[in-house]
């Protein structure tokens, strides 16, 4: 019988196992952590539940909606999305390009003037978009681009917009027409146009509960970290000294880690994998003895003098993530090995986060902090810089020669949402099945 092995028991790895199980194949999953979920894991701290960074499910795919609902026995919340921004003391409805009301008059005038000019010159700019910066200026005009998305990108991506490509955008940045911009500049009442209008979240156990049914149906060996892969003998070596054979291999490991563990990987492939960039996030979790901290689900922060880039509020996702009468805040602070290295203990960021939460008014001086912790998410978001396309071509070409299929955000090195991570696992399984036919 063909032994199909999957590396990683996160959303993508479980998606691969699910697809194989539909064909009557029970693959073996090896997971280096002592828990299932990977980047979609959730952690309980006393009466508080925090995810490994903010996660929600907003897939419109009815098949996936049904699968995820069945996985946790239908125990989930359906929530209408509320998102806002803070820029230089102004709380702004999201997206900012459609909600300029209340901002300094000169800034609004400059934004609209540049927006109109950008639209008028759109045809002349066709074919000249070579970077994310070019796309932003062509879409919104220079003033808005530099004031909002380019500034936010420095904090979130850690890279300059000119150093990034545009092949990750999709629906993530809304492009309004002039009427929408004018309406949002003249009135605080605007339609909701965020690409996430509503989402689902488990009632209990955090986001990882969406994986419950998939994990229970899979064969998973925990605390089995890969030390090496011998593609000649199709043997896996683990850090505990054990070994396992495989006939077909599916990996959701981050590509730099996967390539580094393959015996005999050519130097050009190793160098290509090393050029792949991603952010590292320090996640600071705060529990508060008050219910009404925020009515938003998440908030974007643009100013450099705020240490965090984004806040999310777990108590707004499910009341069971916090004890009665409490609320929770999760703050994200971004770094990257390539552009902004993390050079401090993550614990040292707890107090600056609390300071800035008080400064923006979300925390009060008389609030009692019931919980605080900080952790590092080594792989947060892929950085779509100009090195990525050629590096991926080299890495994927090599892995294809070895017959190794990859999946997930870090196995495909793309901007995968949770549903896309799951389906990438299914796609990897189908690739393996086709090769076995």
- Residue 298, domain CATH: 3.90.660.20
- Band the pLDDT of 312: cuts 50, 70, 90: very high
- Residue 2: band (very low, low, confident or very high) from pLDDT cuts 50, 70, 90: low
pLDDT value at residue 20 = 97
- Residue ending a domain, among 350, 378, 406, is 378
Residue 216 belongs to a domain: no
**Are 330 and 198 part of one and the same domain?**
yes
Q: How far is it, in rounded angstroms, from Cα 370 to Cα 47?
A: 10
Query: Is residue 106 predicted with pLDDT exceeding 70?
Result: yes
Residue 48 has pLDDT above 90, yes or no: yes
From 125-139, 145-159, 271-285, 379-393, the region with the lowest mean pLDDT: 125-139
Q: What is the pLDDT of residues 66-101, one digit of tens each?
A: 999 999 999 999 999 999 999 999 999 999 999 999
Residue 148 reports pLDDT greater than 90? yes
**Residue 385: pLDDT band with limits 50, 70, 90:** very high
Alpha-carbon span 9 to 283, nearest angstrom: 22
Using pLDDT thresholds of 50, 70 and 90, give the confidence band for residue 226: very high
- Same structural domain, 323 and 252: no
- Which pLDDT score is estimated for 5? 98
202 and 322 fall within a common domain: yes
Q: Mean pLDDT over all residues of the chain?
A: 96
Same domain for 130 and 180, yes or no, is yes
Query: Does 196 have pLDDT greater than 90?
Result: no
User: Is residue 168 located within the same domain as residue 315?
Assistant: no
Domain assignment present for 217: no
Q: Identify whether residues 287 and 174 lie together within a single domain.
A: no
> Which of the listed residues 378, 395, 418 is the one where a domain comes to its end?
378
What is the reported pLDDT for 171? 82
Residue 249 sits in the same domain as residue 110:
no
137 and 271: one domain? Answer: no
The span from the CA of 299 to the CA of 301, in Å, is: 7
Residue 349 has pLDDT above 90, yes or no: yes
> How many domains does the chain contain in total?
3
Q: Are residues 328 and 260 part of one domain?
A: no
Q: Does residue 163 sit within a domain?
A: yes
Q: Is residue 301 part of a domain?
A: yes
Q: Is the pLDDT of residue 436 over 80?
A: no
Residue 90 lies in a domain: yes
- Regarding pTM above 0.85, the answer is yes
What is the pLDDT at residue 256?
98
Residue 1: the pLDDT is: 44
10: Cβ–Cβ under 8 A, 6 or more apart, which residues? 36, 37, 38, 39, 40, 41, 252, 408, 421
Give the pLDDT band (50/70/90) at residue 195: confident
Claim to verify: residue 295 and residue 200 sit in the same structural domain: yes
Q: How confident is the model over 187-194, as a mean pLDDT?
A: 91
Between 173 and 271, whose confidence is greater?
A: 271
Percent of the chain with pLDDT over 70: 98
Question: Which residues form the domain of 149?
Answer: 106-185
Query: Domain boundary residue among 336, 355, 378?
Result: 378
Asked if residue 198 and residue 72 are part of one domain, the reply reads yes
pLDDT the model gives residue 194: 80
Q: Are residues 83 and 232 in the same domain?
A: no
Residue 117, domain member (yes or no)? yes
> What is the pLDDT averaged over residues 121-137?
83
State yes or no: pLDDT of 124 exceeds 80. Answer: no
């Amino acid at each position: 019988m063909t032994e199909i092995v999957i590396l990683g028991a996160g959303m993508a790895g479980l998606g691969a196992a699910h697809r194989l199980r539909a064909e009557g194949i029970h693959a073996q999953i090896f997971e280096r952590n002592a828990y299932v979920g990977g980047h979609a894991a959730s952690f309980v701290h006393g009466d508080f539940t925090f995810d490994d960074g903010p996660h929600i499910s907003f897939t419109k795919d009815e098949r996936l909606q049904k699968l995820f609902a069945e996985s946790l026995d239908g125990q989930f919340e359906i929530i209408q999305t509320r998102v806002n921004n803070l820029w230089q003391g102004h709380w702004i409805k999201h997206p900012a390009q459609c909600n300029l009301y209340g901002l300094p008059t000169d800034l609004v005038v400059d934004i609209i003037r540049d927006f109109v000019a950008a639209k008028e010159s759109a045809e002349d700019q066709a074919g000249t978009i070579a970077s994310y910066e070019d796309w932003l200026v062509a879409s919104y005009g220079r003033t808005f681009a530099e004031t909002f998305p380019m500034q936010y990108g420095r904090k979130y991506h850690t890279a300059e917009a000119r150093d990034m490509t545009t092949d990750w955008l999709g629906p993530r940045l809304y492009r309004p027409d002039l009427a929408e911009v004018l309406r949002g500049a003249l009135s605080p009442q605007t339609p909701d146009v965020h690409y996430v209008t509503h989402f689902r979240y488990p009632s209990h156990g955090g986001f990882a509960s969406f994986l419950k049914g998939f994990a229970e149906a899979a064969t998973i060996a925990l605390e089995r970290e890969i030390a090496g892969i011998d593609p000649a003998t199709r043997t896996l070596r683990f850090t505990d000294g054990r070994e396992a054979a495989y006939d077909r291999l599916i990996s959701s490991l981050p590509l730099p880690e996967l390539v580094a563990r393959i015996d005999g990987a050519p130097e050009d492939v190793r160098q290509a994998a090393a050029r792949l960039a991603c952010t590292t996030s320090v996640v600071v979790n705060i529990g508060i003895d008050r219910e009404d901290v925020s009515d938003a689900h998440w908030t974007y922060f643009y100013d450099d003098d705020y240490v965090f880039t984004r806040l999310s509020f777990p108590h707004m996702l499910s009341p069971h993530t916090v004890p009665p009468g409490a609320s929770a805040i999760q703050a994200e602070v971004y770094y990257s090995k390539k552009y902004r290295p993390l050079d401090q203990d993550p614990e040292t960021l707890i107090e600056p986060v609390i300071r800035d939460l008080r400064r923006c008014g979300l925390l009060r001086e008389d609030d009692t902090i019931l919980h605080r912790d900080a952790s590092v998410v080594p792989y947060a978001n892929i950085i779509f810089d100009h090195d990525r396309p050629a590096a991926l071509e080299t890495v994927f070409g090599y892995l294809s020669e070895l017959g190794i299929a990859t999946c997930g955000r870090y196995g495909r090195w793309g901007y995968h949402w949770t549903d896309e991570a799951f389906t990438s696992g299914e796609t990897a399984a189908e690739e393996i099945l086709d090769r076995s036919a």
